[in-house]
Chains A and B, each alone.
Chain A
């Protein structure tokens, strides 16, 4: 499974846009890129997923360049409740493959 690298931590003020970049140089052709959010003492929660180019949903955007060796999660206008750990994962679509977590990025939103 492709290994991912993310910044360990980031700080942001409320109302700002936050971009978290993840490197996955060894991504395979059939791998998707998925981002999860985790609050303390809770299981990870799905944020967004993509294969290439740009994906947007009601909470975030995901930008994936043509070579797919990196991806950027964009959180528009963060609030205090967005303080969490964000994980970038890559993996194939097979249901039998576990998702392997990297260290994640601890985002702290400050008032």
Chain B
């Protein structure tokens, strides 16, 4: 099946620094990728939709200047948490859906997630 690779799996950073998380679709092209955030014991919350070659679309309440998203190619999207603070500590997950509809419904593939801890 299709694979989405997310890197790093975990990161610890100091408050005030920036952290970049990469999301790659390994064997398919994805015009659109999605970034989620998950707090302990809670569900995934959609943060933004990343569009190849254009600006990301952010969900209400998500600061676009804090969570910078770049979708430079059909297989790579990056999320940069700028000036990270302890409250940004969370589990970040990316998702990608094949550009070409294979007629099998909304297949979505998820990365393994990135555990961010800001100290």
Q: What are the residues of chain A within 8 A of B110 when measuring CB–CB? A: 36, 43-45
| Max count, chain B CB within 10 A of own CB: residue among A32, A43, A45, A93 | A43
Q: Decide: B43 and A42 in contact? CB cutoff 8 A.
A: no
Dominant secondary structure of chain B at its interface with chain A: loop
Query: Which chain B residues lie closer than 8 Å to A41 at the CB level?
Result: 91, 113, 115
Cα distance, A36 to B44, chains bound together (Å): 12
Task: Please name all residues of chain A whose beta carbon is closer than 8 Å to the beta carbon of B115 when the two chains form the complex.
Answer: 41
Contact A99 B95 (CB under 8 A): yes
Complex: how many Å from CA A96 to CA B30? 9
User: Which A82-105 residues have a C-beta within 8 angstroms of B?
Assistant: 87, 89, 91-104
Assembly CA distance A100 to B4 (angstroms): 18
Tell whether, in the assembled complex, residue B32 and residue A101 are in contact, meaning their CB atoms are under 8 Å apart: no
Q: How far is the CB of A89 from chain B (nearest CB, A)?
A: 8
Which A residues are within 8 Å of any B CB, using their own CB?
Answer: 32, 34, 36, 41-46, 49, 51, 87, 89, 91-104
